[in-house]
Amino acid sequence: MKKIIAVWIVVAAIGIKQPPAMQGANYSAAVPAAAKQLIEKAENILTWQTAEGGWPKNVDTQKTAYVDDVKKLHATFDNGATVGEMRFLARAFAETGDVRYRQAFLRGFDYILKSQYPSGGWPQSWPAKKDYTRRITFNDNAMVNVMLALKDFSNLPDYYFVDKKRQAAGRAAFARGIDCILKCQVRVKGKLTVWCAQHDENDYSPQPGRSFELRALSGGESAGILKLLMSIKDPSPAIVEAIEGGVRWFESAKINGIREVTVEGDKRIIEDANAPPMWARFYEIETNRPIFAGRDGVKKYHLAEIEAERRNGYAWYGYWGKTVIEDYALWRAKIPNPKF
Q: Taking the CA atoms of the chain, what radius of gyration do you get in angstroms?
A: 22
- Does the structure show a pLDDT above 60 at 19? no
Residue closest to 139 by CA, chosen among 53, 222, 72, 76: 222
Note the pLDDT of residue 337: 63
Domain boundaries, the chain: 1-182, 185-335
- Same fold for the pair 1-182 and 185-335: yes
CATH architecture, domain 185-335: Alpha/alpha barrel (1.50)
- The sign of the torsion formed by the CA atoms of 221, 147, 81, 115 equals positive
**Per mean pLDDT, which range of 16-25, 92-101, 148-157, 206-215 is the poorest?**
16-25
**SS3 at position 282:** strand
- Report residue 8's pLDDT band, with 50, 70 and 90 as the boundaries: very low
Beta strand pairing status for 136-137 and 198-199?
Answer: antiparallel
Residue 336, pLDDT score? 66
For the cut 70, the answer to whether the pLDDT of residue 305 exceeds it is yes
The 136-137 sheet, strands edge to edge: 136-137, 198-199, 206-207
Contact (Cβ atoms closer than 8 angstroms) between residue 227 and residue 327: yes
Q: What is the phi/psi pair of residue 236, to 5°?
A: -70, 165
Asked whether the predicted pLDDT for residue 32 surpasses 90, the reply is no
* Per-residue model confidence as pLDDT tens digits over 238-295: 999 999 999 999 999 999 999 999 999 999 999 999 999 999 999 999 999 999 999 9
As assigned by CATH, the class of the 1-182 domain is mainly alpha
pTM of the model: 0.88
